[in-house]
Chains A and B, each alone.
Chain A
Amino acid sequence: VNELIFFIDQSRCIGCQACVQACEECDTHRGRSMIHLEVMPRQDSVQTAPQVCMHCEDPICAQVCPADAIKKGPDGVVHSSLKPRCIGCSNCVMSCPFGVPKYYAEIDQMMKCDMCYDRTSVGKKPMCATVCPSQALAFTTLEEMQKTRSGKPVNSWRFGAQEVRTKVYVWVPDHVEQFAVDLVQLQGLPESQKDRYDVADLLEA
């Protein structure tokens, strides 16, 4: 009950990038931000979505690593590649369904979000979830989330035929059971439909 869990509530994100700026302040990877802020096509919306490592129960990055360089700890945290083992092949970068690992040519190594292991292992909160002004990123107990927010946590994903469960939860409306990522329509709505994010359409209501 008292376990601290990482939650992402995309609907709260305001795109300020405090998480991106704060991430690179962590001592284990200073100067390199491990978090991604996904930006929808800005023409269409101001929506943004922060993406930390989801810490898969059976990490795909580790599965595809030919050098066995990516390890998951007993606490479920999936770590950056081990420097002596990483061969810089970028299999992990290619295979992660969330697009998290990054290959850094200057150090010839893959690095990724490790949920601020240096902080969380000594009882602190991850940097991004501490500073996040909207608490789109929250590091707290499930009980606290249920007490203070409507909706529920989901950590089950389906990418085509592949099912993934993650340590990190996404906070969603009550009707959502699982995220299914199939074919997505990238741009535009049918001509006749009003776009609720188009100010011109709103003015013609």
Chain B
Amino acid sequence: LAKLPVSIADLVHRFGPHMATEPAGGWSTVGEPDRLVKTHCCFCGQQCGIQLKVKDNRVVGFEPWEDFPFNQGKLCPKGVKRYMQGENPDRLRSPLKRVDEIGFVPTTWNDALDHTASEIRRIQQQYGNDAFAMLSGASLTNEKAYLMGKFARVAVRSANIDYNGRLCMVSAAAASKKIFGVDRSANPWSDILKAKVILAAGANVAECSPITTHYIWEARERGAKLIILDPRMTPIARTADLYIPVRSGGDIGIFNGMLHIMIERGWIDREFLAQHTTGWEQVEAAVKKYTPEYSAKIAGVPAEMIVRAAEMWGPADTSFLMHARGIEHHSKGVDNCMAAIQLVLATGRIGREGCGYAMITGQGNGQGGREQGQKADQLPGARDVENPEHRKYIASVWGVEEPSIPHKGLSNYEIIHAIHAGKIKGLLTICCNPMVSLPDNKYVREALEKLEFYVAVDFFLSESCRYADLVLAGSLMEEDEGTTTNVEGRVILHHKAIEPPKDAMVDWKIITGLAERLGAGDKFKYDSPKQIFDELRVASKGSHADYYGITWERIEKEYGVFWPCPAPEHPGTPRLYEGGRFFHPDGKAHFHVVEWRPAAEEPDAEYPIILTTGRVVSHFLSGNQTRRIAGLMSQESEPFCELHPRLAEKLGVGAGDFVKVESRRGAITVKARIVKTIRPDTVFVPYHWPLERAANNCTIGALDPISKIPEYKICAVRVQRAERPTDAMSQLSPAAGGVA
């Protein structure tokens, strides 16, 4: 029974979020650490190099790592303060079991793992193998991501494993695969510096990938023009050569409109198209109707902005396109990305210096996390779980019969649907916090409450863990070692800085311990993450995402190695598509006709305002880590609703007022922040907070039909002035979902 054992206030009192306000030993502790550990930030896909100061098995501070080429010592505030997370009093130090009316009490690892294994088997015997599901995460190392996929297919033998990259990268990934036949940013970040025009669509670079700012500013010093598409004038947009305040969901109007003008003016590389692509004629015909006026209506901006964008992008010698969640978090996310990428392809400006495109990965291992086989539809090496050859090869690596590998399972939010519908009865989560991160939060809570058995692996008692029967105390990034793959496709190595608390366990040992109890111990005999990586190399061999030639030793020596890297003597592949060679069997890139369509829920008379959601610089995703670090909380302690002064005036909302933001699914009450930097038809709320402050109370569970990404970036709401909330939840600390 996955219901709360005691009240939320009681759980918060015991398990937080409380805040780490001081480093280990206090601020006054200075002096030499025992050692400096060169590793990487645990947060976003930039994966900045950082040195952690370690003293007496505690991380006591940091020192910039200026030799690491991607960030050269630079860090955002999350990177600076990330070292404090391990000192948080909320850190789980042993496995916990839920006891009705009491809460969560410590248990032994043997009992916890035995009970988990027996519940998995009980549920599967009673309801079928697929009635037990797993939700994993893209902040896991490659080794753990690989292990989770194998665990699901070999030990649990359920089709239903998916990961939270489903909320993050899948639209970009699907678009890239459809067009190029592979799923990775096409270029190393050094190519940004050589671009003469940069187009960033739906990317709040300054807050969500801050280190990329320097690359953009350097390119501009060298003469690059900058075009930004965003309903909000974010810090990166403030000085842009062209800022287009596109209506959320109107991006295809900009992209197809630009292409229309580029065709008219002759800014198309027809020789490249003839030699290296298919499907151009259909696209050319389809964008005929996307005149500036027609496109402007879709995009909700003046037509001349689209003309100017085409004039800047079209004739440039070199160019770089980057996109992020702003165009991906839509029920047409894949189409948005394809329309964007086709602006690159039509000019032939790809596969050479200063020419290319990138999707800015959001999560720490946003790139690698989707290649190692923890996706519902993929096996390791980004292989297709329905492709007989792929299945056969992976079966041989795993030493199992091909038919024993389950087929394609449900995606992340579809798993929630199936739980809600009573089809899935048991759940394991690791590295995710659906009670904050999934849309239509009330629906997610109802689903979790229906589970017969829920086990969560986490290092803090997240909002989701509160619904679990068992919480297995896992490891922080600095407590284990393993690789991740950064935004550029560069595989890098995280070093272990400290040991986990005595009665916590590194994640991979929890999973292998469960596999053993499920009778698959012989397939999960690893002594170290490095052994898992060596198996992963073999599993990815011959695939597009080929890691075979990458070793931990090479990563260290070469500051990371870019995949594909098929052999130990292969230098790796920083830049894809050189010479116009793409990854489809015909070697060509494939155009796709993209037509604009409305969002699942557009504003109407009843709910007349667009809600869009996103991040702030000082918090990461569901906030499970960053809401526990005082320095980061001091930057943004609670969510807010950004609205334009004109909208505020219409609604009678003044500075400092609270507002109720309400959709058909739920509501939140947060402080108003009246700013001229947002479209007057749109409000923005950051999503890092839970409960009555969760932006995802309002968002809609509509999914892209191909990528199954939820539509976080547009739903319809009404907004009204509200009194300061006084209910029990509002009395919690802001970190826990209260109001200050």
Interface residues of A (CB under 8 A from B): 11-18, 20-22, 24-25, 27, 30-31, 42-48, 125, 127, 130-135, 148-150, 195, 197-200, 202-205
Contacts and interface: CB of A to CB of B under 8 A. Distances in A.
A43 B238 contact: no
A15 B235 contact: yes
A25 B61 contact: yes
A14 B210 contact: yes
Interface stretch (B145-153, B165-173, B587-595, B669-677): B669-677
Nearest to A20: B77
B236 to A, nearest CB: 7
Contact of A130 (B29, B66, B239, B678): B66
A131 B75 contact: yes
Given A18-B76, A48-B235, A134 B210 contact: yes
Given A15-B206, A149-B221, A199 B61 contact: no
Interface in B50-85: 61-62, 64, 66, 71, 73-77, 79-81
Contacts of A42: 673, 675
Nearest to A37: B635
Contacts of B211: 133
Between A43, A149, A150, the greatest number of chain B beta carbons within 10 A of the residue's beta carbon is seen for: A43
24 contacts: A14-B207, A14-B617, A16-B235, A17-B635, A18-B75, A18-B76, A18-B77, A18-B79, A21-B631, A30-B23, A30-B27, A43-B675, A46-B677, A131-B75, A132-B74, A133-B210, A133-B213, A148-B218, A197-B233, A197-B238, A199-B232, A199-B233, A199-B679, A202-B243
A65 B305 CA distance: 56
Contacts of A27: 30-31
A30 B206 contact: no
Nearest to A31: B27
B237 to A, nearest CB: 8
Contacts, number: 139
A21 B218 CA distance: 24
Contact of B646 (A135, A150, A200): A200
Contacts of A134: 206, 210, 213-214, 217
Given A15-B206, A16-B617, A31-B28, 5 more contacts: A16-B235, A30-B29, A46-B238, A131-B73, A148-B221
Given A16-B76, A16-B206, A133-B213, A45 B236 contact: no
A80 to B, nearest CB: 16
A14 B81 contact: no
B58 to A, nearest CB: 15
A55 to B, nearest CB: 22
B17 interface: no
Given A130-B73, A133-B211, A205-B302, A199 B677 contact: yes
A95 B211 CA distance: 36
A133 B239 contact: no
Contacts of B644: 199-200
Contact of A18 (B210, B238, B305, B675): B210
Contacts of B23: 30
B449 interface: no
A197 B644 CA distance: 12
A25 B304 CA distance: 48
Contacts of B214: 133-135
A27 B29 CA distance: 8
Nearest to A27: B30
Contacts of B27: 30-31
Contacts of A127: 64
B645 A43 contact: yes
A198 B551 CA distance: 51
B679 A203 contact: yes
Interface of B: 22-23, 27-31, 61-62, 64, 66, 71, 73-77, 79-81, 206-207, 210-211, 213-214, 217-218, 221, 232-236, 238-239, 243, 245, 300-302, 304-305, 617-618, 631-632, 635, 644-646, 655, 673-680
A16 B676 contact: no
A25 B218 contact: no
Contacts of A11: 239
A35 to B, nearest CB: 12
B22 A31 contact: yes
B739 to A, nearest CB: 19
A132 B206 CA distance: 12
Contact of A46 (B62, B210, B233): B233
A172 to B, nearest CB: 14
Nearest to A23: B80
A204 B644 CA distance: 14
Contacts of B243: 202
Contacts of B221: 148-150
A205 B61 CA distance: 50
B676 A17 contact: no
Chain A to chain B: the 5 pairs with minimum beta-carbon distance, closest first: A31-B27, A14-B206, A133-B210, A14-B235, A198-B676
Nearest to B679: A199
Contacts of A47: 238
A133 B74 contact: yes
Given A14-B210, A205-B302, A46 B234 contact: yes
Nearest to B26: A31
Nearest to B618: A17
B676 A131 contact: no
B75 A133 contact: yes
Given A17-B618, A31-B27, A203-B245, A43 B676 contact: yes
B375 to A, nearest CB: 31
A195 B646 CA distance: 14
Nearest to B616: A16
Given A12-B217, A27-B30, A134-B213, A200 B80 contact: no
B677 A45 contact: yes
Contacts of B77: 16-18, 20-21
A31 B84 CA distance: 13
Nearest to B300: A203
A200 B675 CA distance: 11
Nearest to B29: A30
Contacts of A30: 23, 27-30
A133 to B, nearest CB: 4
B233 A16 contact: no
A203 B302 contact: yes
A142 to B, nearest CB: 15
B676 A200 contact: yes
Between B61, B233, B239, B644, the greatest number of chain A beta carbons within 10 A of the residue's beta carbon is seen for: B233
Between A15, A148, A150, the greatest number of chain B beta carbons within 10 A of the residue's beta carbon is seen for: A15
